[in-house]
Structure 1
């Protein structure tokens, strides 16, 4: 590890720790993954919140505290994109798109479900609304992430510095495909196209898992390639 990119390594491990904590929080505590059923009544949704109240309060409360990890995760990817020959504009576009997407795609479900468990005697109809709003936001926030993956793929295709391999652009394009397919969850309340369906959810989770599993070693390789002697290789600007 070089002293000149110690901050990169700190952000890299912050990225890994954040996504590990996010996975634990939404899977084992908040129970948002695998998602609960959309085809329930208001009373059933209220009963579900009552049963999961402790896990939601604990897991989602912690995630709210470390929510800034999303910005670190976006920043480290933007850092490597800025070192591509495709230039800085696409890096800034990626960071902006993911930053906007973090609100509906991550924060809103935390707030909705914590609010639902904050007053367990709340009208079941209102809890029903928070139940739907949280899940539809969490799984159905599409446009910002589609834009982010698109600019990442374009940046990789046009990059001549070899920061990330070209095949990773195709993995990112599959992320776009899953986001487009997921639009059907706003229509169906059961089946393969519902928010807990095989097509709109589980396939998307597998693709996202592959994307993360590929991205971590690629960023590690790119960070290791940086040396004090070759800073110009990772810059879109000419060496001075």
Structure 2
């Protein structure tokens, strides 16, 4: 891939992050709707912000494919490490990245459907709200394994001047670990393991944002280097 094109793909993920954060603010989902909130209160939240929620969900839905470009750029640079192992890891990263980011599409569908009809019952709105939040925080393994695969690819580069710095591998391992608490959020409506809690929402979302921006910078830098070609 042309270095400028690869850099453009890498930073496309950062554009999505900006849209994602702006959409959450627009929808009134920062802080998140608490998992313990009853059906009537959740439905009232959607009723009060019906237009904003549909606008924010639309923005997320139409822009989440930018993350696929980010994933593709990472795979291109992993391939440049060279060897059969790097090629296999690049395919794994590509597939896991696609699976991990499809949740944004499904999440936005759930929320826009919840806000679509004013006559929808409170119970149905609450159910769709539950679906949206659980979809975005609970399927953690694709993103966790994607981060681990990136880390393994970086560590597999044994040259004196590797394409990525060694610290980036450990960063990816830590990011992958920080996503894991979301796997158990179905058992909690309060506390740090609830979908609005510290360990399931706030820590992972900060880690995710930092990860996307950091990998965009690393990939953009690697794309201009001759090492590995």
Common fold: TM-score over 0.5: yes
Cα offsets for 1:10-29 (capped at 9, x unmatched): 3234233222222222x322
Query: Which of 53, 71, 77 is 1:80 aligned to?
Result: 77
Q: Which residue of 2 aligns with 1:92?
A: 91
Q: Which residue of 2 aligns with 1:158?
A: 156
Aligned pair count reads: 225
- Which residues of 2 match residues 64-213 of structure 1 at below 5 A? 64-85=61-82, 86-103=85-102, 105-161=103-159, 162-213=162-213
Is the 2:182–2:193 Cα contact (8 Å) retained in structure 1?
yes
Is the 2:11–2:70 Cα contact (8 Å) retained in structure 1?
no
Is the 2:33–2:42 Cα contact (8 Å) retained in structure 1?
no
Is the 1:116–1:127 Cα contact (8 Å) retained in structure 2?
yes
Is the 1:50–1:117 Cα contact (8 Å) retained in structure 2?
yes
Is the 2:140–2:183 Cα contact (8 Å) retained in structure 1?
yes
Take 1:63 and 1:200, find their aligned partners in 2: how far apart are those partners?
Answer: 20
Query: RMSD of the alignment, in Å?
Result: 1.9
SS at match of 1:84: coil
**Distance 1:150-1:127 versus aligned 2 partners, 3 A rule:** same
**Distance 1:100-1:12 versus aligned 2 partners, 3 A rule:** closer
Q: Which residue of 2 aligns with 1:17?
A: 15
Higher relative contact order (CA 8 A, sep 6+): 2
Q: Which residue of 2 aligns with 1:234?
A: 228
Take 2:79 and 2:29, find their aligned partners in 1: how far apart are those partners?
Answer: 34
TM-score between both structures, scaled by the size of structure 2? 0.90
Cα offsets for 1:128-149 (capped at 9, x unmatched): 1101000001111212112211
Is the 1:38–1:189 Cα contact (8 Å) retained in structure 2?
yes
More displaced 10-residue stretch of structure 1: 86-95 or 58-67: 58-67
Once the two structures are TM-superposed, the CA of residue 118 in structure 1 deviates from its matched residue by 0.5
Q: Which residue of 1 aligns with 2:50?
A: 53
SS at match of 1:87: helix
Once the two structures are TM-superposed, the CA of residue 212 in structure 1 deviates from its matched residue by 2.9
More displaced 10-residue stretch of structure 1: 108-117 or 205-214: 205-214
Take 1:95 and 1:12, find their aligned partners in 2: how far apart are those partners?
Answer: 13
**Distance 1:110-1:220 versus aligned 2 partners, 3 A rule:** same
Take 1:14 and 1:222, find their aligned partners in 2: how far apart are those partners?
Answer: 16
Take 1:207 and 1:62, find their aligned partners in 2: how far apart are those partners?
Answer: 22
Take 1:21 and 1:160, find their aligned partners in 2: how far apart are those partners?
Answer: 37
Cα offsets for 1:139-163 (capped at 9, x unmatched): 1121211221111111111113512
